[in-house]
A and B are shown apart, each in its own frame.
Chain A
Amino acid sequence: MATLLAIGTAKGLFLATSTDDRRSWEITGPHFPMTGVYAVAVDTRRSTPRLLAGMTSSHFGPSVATSDDLGASWDEPDQAPVAFPADTGVSLGRVWQLMPAGPDEPDVVWAGTEPSALFKSTDGGRSFELVRSLWDHPHRPQWEAGFGGQAVHTVLPHPRDPARLLVAMSTGGVYRSEDAGASWAPGNTGIRAYFMPDEWPEFGQCVHKVARDAANPERLYAQNHHGVYRSDDDGRTWSSIADGLPSDFGFPMVAHPGRGGMVWTFPLVADGERFPTDHRCRVFRSADAGGKWEPLSVGLPEGPFYPAVLRDAMCADDASPGGVYFGTRSGSVFASRDEGDSWSSVAAHLPDVLCVRAAQV
């Protein structure tokens, strides 16, 4: 069995494959050169794994392509896979997230977009339809844009209950559905929004990333625009787990896909100083759901280190022991095959890394 690591960058998609249990990597690419690949997914629910890539050309706009031969060839529908209906008067900026649904819905793939919207595919990601209930939500006119634009960047299906779905957006916060996306309620209680006049608003938070615990799907972890939180009630209420981290600012939040309570993040100093804390390349891991955090740096660059890691530029694979990966805005990609204890370089000098996803294929 091989491990595939898909690396979306500002100028194309790179695919790294390892056939020796993640010790060495062969890299192809760039696929879709000169497009920003903000979203990539490896859908392993199918008999043949399907890659999905959401790319955006500065000139020629956004699209989504799929590959059923691990990237040897790509297929793009004639009609735009993700497009806003005419009556919305809106055009797609880019796809920020492609997320296969749970195992009970093998042909369902969700897409989170800019401007903030959720799209649903029922044909494995070939075509998508706008989820009207979220688009028509009365809060939508009040969702704001952060520096990265206004986008749904997190889509988390519930692994056991297809009716339950969580999305997060910048800026707007977390929204939850318990009726398969027919209706949505904000789920931000306890998440601070220091940039708002009311610092504890019902919605409007800038949640950078949400991850779901593997063992307990009611448990979620969030990296906020200042603030690191955990929810134990499926995103209704949140409490801080930032103690023990060198900073409560950062972008990614990754949960171990098989081991409950284990999460990784990559703290930055602050909103106004987006460098790694202490200017060192360190991943922080908690094995007890955010109670304690430990820095991980064995094998990572030792000198001063300034690149940030973006919200989707860190991921875990589904191997055992678990692999962890992250890419930097300076085009470096690092991998760990022991849950973060030690790291090695997968690639360097790529364009800035926007997203990574890994799976056994």
Chain B
Amino acid sequence: MVTVLLPGPLRGEAGGASRVSVTATGTLRAVLDEMAVAHPRLARRIRDERGELRRYVNVFVDGEDCRHSGGLATPVTDGAEVQVLPSVAGG
């Protein structure tokens, strides 16, 4: 089981929950793919239609920015915590 932590602006897409549980493990892609089945609108706010992470959405796997650890191929093991955070941007 993997826990995905959601930022405030995205919780509405998960029924108000601040976290969702996903059974898939292996890679971040697998985790997000499974999350997309139950929460498609949540998923498309994190990844575009190519499946790529949106530019100003950051995803941390056990505290490490996935962009520095393989992107969507970042390993995710059972019990991991995946945190989604909007990056600091805009005015």
Contacts and interface: CB of A to CB of B under 8 A. Distances in A.
Contacts of B54: 59-61
A142 interface: no
Contacts of A89: 50
Could you tell me the dominant secondary structure of chain A's interface residues?
loop
Interface string B61-91: 0000000000000000000000000110110
A84 B10 contact: no
B87 to A, nearest CB: 7
Given A76-B41, A79-B40, A59 B89 contact: yes
Contact of B86 (A59, A84, A90, A92): A59
B50 A61 contact: no
B15 interface: no
Contact of B57 (A60, A76, A78, A90): A60
B40 A59 contact: no
Interface in B5-54: 9-10, 40-41, 44-46, 48-50, 52, 54
Given A59-B9, A59-B57, A78-B41, A83 B86 contact: no
B40 A60 contact: no
Contacts of B87: 59
A79 B43 CA distance: 10
B9 A91 contact: no
Interface size range on A against B: 10 to 19
Nearest to A33: B9
Interface in A60-104: 60-61, 63, 76, 78-80, 83-84, 86, 89-92
A78 B49 contact: no
Contacts of B44: 61, 63, 79-80
A90 B52 CA distance: 10
A90 B51 CA distance: 11
A89 B46 CA distance: 17
B45 A61 contact: yes
11 contacts: A34-B9, A59-B86, A60-B10, A60-B46, A60-B54, A60-B57, A61-B44, A80-B44, A84-B49, A84-B50, A86-B50
When A and B form their complex, which 8 residue pairs have the shortest distance between CB atoms, in order from nearest?
A: A60-B45, A91-B48, A83-B49, A59-B86, A78-B40, A59-B56, A58-B90, A80-B44
Interface of A: 34, 57-61, 63, 76, 78-80, 83-84, 86, 89-92
Interface of B: 9-10, 40-41, 44-46, 48-50, 52, 54, 56-57, 86-87, 89-90
Given A59-B57, A61-B48, A84-B50, 14 more contacts: A34-B9, A58-B90, A59-B86, A59-B87, A60-B10, A60-B45, A60-B54, A76-B41, A79-B40, A84-B49, A86-B49, A90-B50, A91-B50, A92-B48
